[in-house]
Homo-oligomer: A and B are copies of this chain.
C-alpha cells in the first residue's frame, strides 16, 4: 500500500497544461528514454437536446480506485519495458475544454510507451470506480456513460 502513496493519482480539479509541462520536463535527465506517449482526456460540451455539458463533476470510491490504479500500474510495468509511468485523474469539477485524465508513459523504444499508454487508458475507463456527473449549462445534471 505504501507505493500507492508514492504515486498519487487524484488531483483536485483539472490537470493544467503547466503541470503537464513540468511532468515532461522532469524526464530530461532520464537519458535512456527515447519515447513518451501521453494521453489526455478533455471534457467535451456534449449536447443533450438543447442543453450542453458545461462541466463534469468527478467522484470516486477512493480507496478502491487507488488500489486499482496501483494494480494497473504494476501490471503495466510487468508487461511493458517502461522507464516511467504517471497517471493523474481529476476529482471535483472540471469544465468543458479542461483536462481530467493524463496517462504518461516513457520507454526506450516508441512501441512500448504507446502500447502501454493505450492499455492503461482502456483499463482506467473500464476498471476504476470513478463517476462523472455531467453538469449542463442550465444546471441540470446527468450521469456520464463511458463507451
Contact = CB atoms under 8 A, between A and B. Distances in A.
A41 B35 contact: yes
B40 A39 contact: no
Contact of A37 (B32, B38, B106): B38
A81 interface: no
A8 interface: no
Given A34-B44, A35-B40, A39-B37, A114 B109 contact: no
Interface residues of A, number: 39
A85 B97 CA distance: 17
Contacts of A118: 114
Interface stretch (A16-24, A57-65, A67-75): A16-24
